[in-house]
Structure 1
């Protein structure tokens, strides 16, 4: 019987999509390997997640070797607001039962691949003497930082929440790491405790699959080989390039507009699924775009009212937050939109630069399509990633590396304009670098082959 891998993503749509794309890559490359994915549901699981799972399950080309088991939702009503860690822990009985059923029906399980937030499931793999691997959807540098601070805390008593150093010397970067770009969670005692636990749990795995390419993060990957940690496999880029949907009317309209622009002439501004700006910052961006003279496509979205937890939405009328007359004055060179089909825009030959929040999936898309970036991070580890892209990799210019959405001041139009001009400079070393990385990202990942040889024993028959 063909070997089968058990993949367990955490319930967030971003983590779910990444794990399914990994599964599709594995079964596409290794025709005798199959995958069963155990999908964890919760009260907060969105209809988008359900629709995505159903669309994959219904796809005929994957149905025989990629099966998805949706675990029942049995959230504890007595704990209406569980932590992410406790929520995943509460799902272990369901996962254990599903795995036992697979084994009892003669499935040849070869190992587990677990989302970075599902490390408690290692216990179930251990019970069946199966190897566990972690899928890490962020950068190798971020993984190295997790191990670095965990080792410093556990073995040297270094607590970054109590440190006052302006720069940190870290082995995975050639340059000192400014404190201002350290992920904010590392400076919070509660979150630091969770991050440290991640580092400890990662060490229990047989190996770690990282969504990166060796040529982009060679220094960080080399530093990981010198740590006493499980083997690291660079398996990227893992991408969902169709955006989960087809060419709908709004996407078609955007693509038609891009079709009318010269090659590599458009700067694309998009800040992820959560990135938004206040009215003052929107005006500064508009002024910068107009003064730069560059063609632009701007994904501008409205944040939820203060105190309300909700995703951004499209404006009913973007003119209400833009300078008077801006849309008329820029009508021949620019287009302001709401939600953006990011992959389709980055893939278009007219797109010449990407002003980005530096989320890792967006970064991987930029690499794949060969589009240089201007770094404007918003939240989470994005300031850290922005520093890496600008100072270490050389595939981005800076807008504001230490910007934090909701707590930083307004970035002036002149600063934004300067970043846009540097981004769109023709024939720059940055453009050459990104083109080189794009070509290298198209090569089959040696990390995938190494992983399959390790977990199966030999990939020659697959």
Structure 2
């Protein structure tokens, strides 16, 4: 019996874009070991994951098998750019709809159980209730994927139990940690607590993190001690999941090639890339201040200005377009100052370009790891969820970022001068140069870890675990 017949992996992602992205990248990495991967989700979200993947083409990987299932219709309200909190609570109907994947999951596992010696289920932490029937299949085993940084998970666990001893560094850091107030909605917290209850009933054999021991070894070790005491055997730092080199443009879209060609014409480290992710809607007034601030900074830029995702991103165009100052887009492009992107941008390719010298970001974990991997310093502008704590990690702990806008300022109006000053600090000041040097050095270490260092060893350990005999 070959390895492919002996073991397969079933990937069960949560439906938010960052989660889909990470587990699709993970599927690519596992499939490289000749292990078949079955990627399960709703019809809409499977299509979304494949449509937005960057750095590689999922359609050419023969041993990734997509299983898309219909779920009950859901209607999400439009994102509100004037909401008092940035958390995308409007997507809750979409999040709740995928809980109907429990029955299709059981059917898929039933089919695989008759032909496969061991079924390895890798589930997003927020999908624990969907996979709760896996105990009925003796030849299945569960591993949990955490989409957040080990740093963020550690502090959530510490606040819950206070069982782990803090060293002097963490004791001094603790007062700076943002509370979860304003990070999540109450409705989403209820969903998280419900999934946590299901998670505790699972026989979880270990936890996977999209991170690297190069920069999170301390918190991974602390978590390993805590997780072993709670029943899980170990954890693996098998990130970064994203490709660490994206020089091949053959799969790039026409829009991406246009952007990359523009970058080709710029000086090294001269362009700041600005993107706040897929779940943030900018009010027109806020967007205007950012626009003016970017132009006044004197630094060249690529700025992704798009309405936040709808529940179904393929359900027609958004009814709203963020309004910028009259003639702004044409003016900055004609003068060569910058480019405004209204659609989807290939972030990895942009960050990996030699001309990109900074990244103003919401600090989603995908963006943090991509910035570190590509050696690009971040101007941190956290918006919601785990982002405020990710910002603490990359700014206060790793020193690979400065604050463009601190979390404590989230309720204040954005001023163009604040944006301009933040861009100049990151791109042309001595402080920014020191941060760039640090993240460039860290990026080299991370890329080396992928090519045969610590990440490679973590992967070998994990693959040995899931393909073991017996």
> How far off is 1:25 after superposition?
0.5
Partner of 2:462: 451
**SS of structure 1 residue aligned to 2:458:** helix
**Alpha-carbon distance between aligned partners in 2 of 1:237 and 1:194, rounded to the nearest angstrom:** 28
**Alpha-carbon distance between aligned partners in 1 of 2:288 and 2:373, rounded to the nearest angstrom:** 32
**Alpha-carbon distance between aligned partners in 1 of 2:335 and 2:58, rounded to the nearest angstrom:** 43
- CA deviations 1:60-99 (Å, max 9, x no partner) are xx22x332233x325389xxx9867764543222211211
- CA deviations 1:392-442 (Å, max 9, x no partner) are 1111001112168xx722222333233222211368332222112211222
Partner of residue 27 from structure 1, selected from 3, 6, 31 = 31
Cα–Cα, structure 1 residues 245 and 315, in superposed 2: closer, same or farther, change >3 Å?
Answer: farther
Q: Is the 8 A contact 2:279 2:309 kept in 1?
A: no
Q: Is the 8 A contact 1:217 1:393 kept in 2?
A: no
**SS of structure 2 residue aligned to 1:176:** helix
| TM-score, scaled relative to structure 1 | 0.79
Partner of 1:165: none
| TM-score, scaled relative to structure 2 | 0.77
> How far off is 1:364 after superposition?
1.3
For structure 1, the 5+ residue unaligned runs are: 157-168
Q: Is the 8 A contact 1:150 1:196 kept in 2?
A: no
**Alpha-carbon distance between aligned partners in 2 of 1:430 and 1:316, rounded to the nearest angstrom:** 32
Partner of residue 73 from structure 1, selected from 70, 81, 86 = 70
Partner of 1:195: 192
> How far off is 1:240 after superposition?
6.3
Q: How many residues align?
A: 425
Cα–Cα, structure 1 residues 379 and 317, in superposed 2: closer, same or farther, change >3 Å?
Answer: closer
Larger displacement relative to structure 2 (110-119 or 190-199): 190-199
**Alpha-carbon distance between aligned partners in 1 of 2:413 and 2:318, rounded to the nearest angstrom:** 19
Q: CA RMSD in A?
A: 3.9
Mapping of 1:114-133 within 5 angstroms? Answer: 114-129=123-138, 130-133=140-143
Cα–Cα, structure 1 residues 390 and 98, in superposed 2: closer, same or farther, change >3 Å?
Answer: same
For structure 2, the 5+ residue unaligned runs are: 75-90
- CA deviations 1:128-176 (Å, max 9, x no partner) are 2332101122211222233233335xx99xxxxxxxxxxxx89994643
Larger displacement relative to structure 2 (347-356 or 271-280): 271-280
Partner of residue 338 from structure 1, selected from 342, 345, 349 = 342
**SS of structure 2 residue aligned to 1:335:** strand
Cα–Cα, structure 1 residues 456 and 175, in superposed 2: closer, same or farther, change >3 Å?
Answer: farther
Partner of 1:112: 121
Larger displacement relative to structure 2 (2-11 or 364-373): 2-11
Q: Is the 8 A contact 1:6 1:35 kept in 2?
A: yes
Partner of 2:218: 219
Partner of 2:21: 17
Partner of residue 411 from structure 2, selected from 405, 408, 412 = 408
- CA deviations 1:165-217 (Å, max 9, x no partner) are xxxx8999464345773334677655444434445555541111011111222
Q: Is the 8 A contact 2:363 2:380 kept in 1?
A: yes
The answer to whether the aligner puts 1:370 opposite 2:375 as a matched pair is yes
The answer to whether the aligner puts 1:134 opposite 2:134 as a matched pair is no
**SS of structure 1 residue aligned to 2:302:** strand
Partner of 1:159: none
- CA deviations 1:295-346 (Å, max 9, x no partner) are 22222335699xxx99978959744385xx9936982433333233222211
Greater relative CO (CA pairs within 8 A, separation 6+)? 2
Mapping of 1:257-406 within 5 angstroms? Answer: 257-302=262-307, 315=321, 318-320=324-326, 322=328, 327=331, 331-339=335-343, 340-402=345-407
**SS of structure 2 residue aligned to 1:112:** strand
The answer to whether the aligner puts 1:238 opposite 2:241 as a matched pair is yes
Q: Is the 8 A contact 2:113 2:137 kept in 1?
A: no
Would you tell me which structure has more helix in proportion to its own residues?
A: 2
Partner of residue 176 from structure 1, selected from 168, 173, 178 = 173
